[in-house]
Amino acid sequence: MAGLILALDQGTTSTRTLVFDADRRVIASAQQEFPQHYPHPGWVEHDAEDIWRDTLACAKLALERGGLSAADIAAIGVTNQRETTVLWDRKTGKPLHNAIVWQDRRTAEVCAVLRDAGHEALVQERTGLLLDPYFSATKLAWLLDTVPGARAAAEAGELAFGTIDTFLLWRLTEGRSHRTDVTNASRTLLYDIHRQRWCPDLLALFRIPAAVLPEVCDSVSDFGHTDLLGARVVIGGMAGDQQAALVGQSCFAPGQAKITYGTGGFMLLNTGERAARSQARLLTTIAYRVDGQARYAMEGSIFVAGAAIKWLRDKLGIIVEARQTQEMAARLPDNGGVFMVPAFVGLGAPHWHTEARGMLTGMTFDTGAAHIARAALESVAFQTADLVAAMEADGAGKLAVLRVDGGMAANDWFCQFLADILDIVVERPANLETTALGAALLAGHQSGAWPDALSADPGAEGLVRFAPRMASEERAGLIGGWQTAVRRAISA
């Protein structure tokens, strides 16, 4: 049982713990969904106390299910939903407000004002990001301006800011460690990804007091230790969920790309030591940093992927389980001309259109539940095609292979349709838990338990390859139909 790594995977809709053995196999796990809060249209919040409670409970339950104790664990790795913003009291550790989730759009007007004032060029130059409410800075400014007394307390050094990784680390270490890693810092709109430090110009632009900021560390670091699981365990790896999945997919070479389909869909292309600046409104971000050496990635973000399938289940009631969509889509000869634009919270890259809203087009009296389910699956593939086209326009070259993971990647019909629409090979690993695996690899490297963690390729065992087989004329027609639907959603 040597070399066990415990990974905390805190996502947008659920919190999970997975225990990996030295062969990278999951030997124990636990998961808990938590409530989503929508206080106003376009606003999305989480209760950070829910997240903390579930994180600790899942960690203990996974150990119990595996017949393990904390003394069996070599290290802990943490991965998290990015950009989600928490502000808490340093003395009590209590959040001042619900966490504001990455999907939240309440600061769209603020971003528009800053953009109209000409500030986006500076933001993109320093951070690789765009002015969008997706990122943390305007969320944090909103909290400081809205919660009574928050700004004065922050300036007095009484408050701490963090993304979810930082908040969990604070709680795990019982307030001893206020740290984050570079991947999470790079998503705040406050971090200079070239100089690799908090940027004074951006702190001034967004009116953020430096006193609230965490220390920024390598993705492989001694982040502190926790005694809350029954024995002292070091926290040795940390990365935002999408960068963790890049590591988990072993995309260590420039030109390798992965996309993770969770609540949203996030495609990262490793660009090595080069921080490539996009001309197609994609993002430049830090992929990971080890021993002070940063590696960069180009990223495209889809706001709604698996969330569209959850909508089919929870709001329309046309499925009970996500896996039903595979059979529903497969039994239709085609999509019947039905397209879904799942812009429930606007459109992400490369459109970055905050005001776009969801739309179903092309429906007739022949349209049924299966057509809507298929349209939801197809919409994720079409959004992925938009990202690939944007990366190619930015000079990335045509991808030969795209590695996929996350919940939707388990759907064979979807993976085949994705390969057909992209006209490239899609590879699905045997282990779809690549986000948690990435966190485990980082922690395993730091602890010395997995010395080859950041160099070994996962190999072909269990790998499934989907090769394109759609005729070019059919592909072009479908993409044209999608593009028409997107234009309608944006102009509606």
> Where residue 470 sits, what CATH number does that domain have?
3.30.420.40
Domain that holds residue 67: 4-241
Confidence of residue 303 (pLDDT cuts 50, 70, 90): confident
Rounded to two decimals, the pTM is 0.87
Polymer length of the chain: 492
Q: Which of 175, 209, 241 is the last residue of a domain?
A: 241
* 224 lies in the same domain as 330: no
pLDDT of the residue at 394? 83
Neighbours of 40 (CB within 10 A): 10
- The residue ranking higher by pLDDT, 377 or 253, is 377
β-partners of residue 129 are none
* 181 lies in the same domain as 282: no
Q: Which of 241, 266, 286 is the last residue of a domain?
A: 241
DSSP class of 37:
B
- Please report whether residue 438 resides in a domain: no
pLDDT of the residue at 398? 82
pLDDT of the residue at 349? 80
- Three-state DSSP at 368 gives coil
Indicate if the pLDDT at residue 492 is higher than 80: no
pLDDT of the residue at 439? 97
* 220 lies in the same domain as 334: no
Mean pLDDT, the chain, whole residue set: 93
Read off the amino acid at residue 340.
M
Torsion of CA 387, 348, 201, 164, to 10 degrees: -100
- Please report whether residue 478 resides in a domain: yes
Residue 262 burial (C-beta neighbours within 10 Å; 0-12, 13-18, 19+): buried
Give tens-digit pLDDT for 398-412.
888 999 998 899 999
Residue pair 383/305 in contact by the 8 Å Cβ criterion: yes
Q: Calculate mean pLDDT across residues 154-162.
A: 97
Indicate if the pLDDT at residue 397 is higher than 80: no
Indicate if the pLDDT at residue 396 is higher than 80: no
Indicate if the pLDDT at residue 1 is higher than 80: no
pLDDT of the residue at 387? 93
Confidence of residue 2 (pLDDT cuts 50, 70, 90): confident
- Please report whether residue 453 resides in a domain: no
Query: Which range (11-20, 354-363, 448-457) has the least confidence?
Result: 448-457
- Please report whether residue 434 resides in a domain: no
Sign of the torsion angle spanned by Cα atoms 58, 432, 70, 227: negative
Q: Calculate mean pLDDT across residues 8-23.
A: 94
* 261 lies in the same domain as 284: yes
Give tens-digit pLDDT for 162-186.
999 999 999 999 999 999 999 999 9
Percent residues over pLDDT 70 in the chain: 99
Confidence of residue 456 (pLDDT cuts 50, 70, 90): low
- Residue 202 neighbours by CB under 8 Å, 6+ apart: 122, 123, 126, 127, 137, 189, 190, 192, 208
Question: Residue 372: enclosing H or E segment and its boundaries?
Answer: helix 369-393
Structural tokens at position 110: 């603020």
- Single out the residue of 373, 335, 330, 302 nearest to residue 477, CA to CA: 335
Indicate if the pLDDT at residue 214 is higher than 90: yes
Neighbours of 114 (CB within 10 A): 20
Query: Which range (19-33, 122-136, 350-364, 454-468) has the least confidence?
Result: 454-468
Indicate if the pLDDT at residue 295 is higher than 80: yes
Q: Calculate mean pLDDT across residues 234-262.
A: 93
Strands 225-226 and 293-302: unpaired
Separation CA 414–CA 378 (nearest Å): 7
Written as one string, the DSSP assignment of 126-170 is HHS--S-TTSHHHHHHHHHHHSTTHHHHHHTT-EEEEEHHHHHHH
- Phi, psi (degrees; rounded to nearest 5) at 32: -145, 120
Confidence of residue 244 (pLDDT cuts 50, 70, 90): very high
- Single out the residue of 304, 310, 308, 302 nearest to residue 266, CA to CA: 302
* 208 lies in the same domain as 269: no
* 347 lies in the same domain as 387: yes
Quote the number of domains for the chain: 2
pLDDT of the residue at 463? 85
- Please report whether residue 441 resides in a domain: no
Indicate if the pLDDT at residue 395 is higher than 80: no
The runs of H, that is alpha helices, within 299-368 are 306-311, 324-330
- Please report whether residue 440 resides in a domain: no
* 170 lies in the same domain as 92: yes
pLDDT of the residue at 149? 96
Separation CA 301–CA 474 (nearest Å): 26
Indicate if the pLDDT at residue 459 is higher than 70: no
* 119 lies in the same domain as 256: no
* 286 lies in the same domain as 402: yes
Q: Calculate mean pLDDT across residues 196-212.
A: 97
Q: Which of 190, 206, 241 is the last residue of a domain?
A: 241
pLDDT of the residue at 455? 79
The strand ranges marked E within 153-253 are 159-163, 179-181, 191-192, 197-198, 215-217, 225-226, 233-240
- The residue ranking higher by pLDDT, 181 or 262, is 181
Separation CA 130–CA 284 (nearest Å): 10
Separation CA 158–CA 456 (nearest Å): 44
* 379 lies in the same domain as 295: yes
Structural tokens at position 217: 């560390």
Separation CA 433–CA 17 (nearest Å): 11
Confidence of residue 469 (pLDDT cuts 50, 70, 90): very high
Confidence of residue 460 (pLDDT cuts 50, 70, 90): low
pLDDT of the residue at 374? 97
Q: Calculate mean pLDDT across residues 137-151.
A: 97
- The residue ranking higher by pLDDT, 96 or 492, is 96
pLDDT of the residue at 81? 94
- Residue 56 neighbours by CB under 8 Å, 6+ apart: 171, 228
Structural tokens at position 179: 């740290």
Separation CA 31–CA 255 (nearest Å): 33
Q: Calculate mean pLDDT across residues 126-145.
A: 95
* 295 lies in the same domain as 391: yes
- Please report whether residue 138 resides in a domain: yes
- Three-state DSSP at 305 gives coil
Residue 242 burial (C-beta neighbours within 10 Å; 0-12, 13-18, 19+): buried
Instruction: Supply the angle between the helices 164-172 and 48-65 in degrees, to the nearest 10.
Output: 60
- Please report whether residue 442 resides in a domain: no
Read off the amino acid at residue 193.
I
Indicate if the pLDDT at residue 354 is higher than 80: no
Indicate if the pLDDT at residue 461 is higher than 70: no
* 390 lies in the same domain as 277: yes
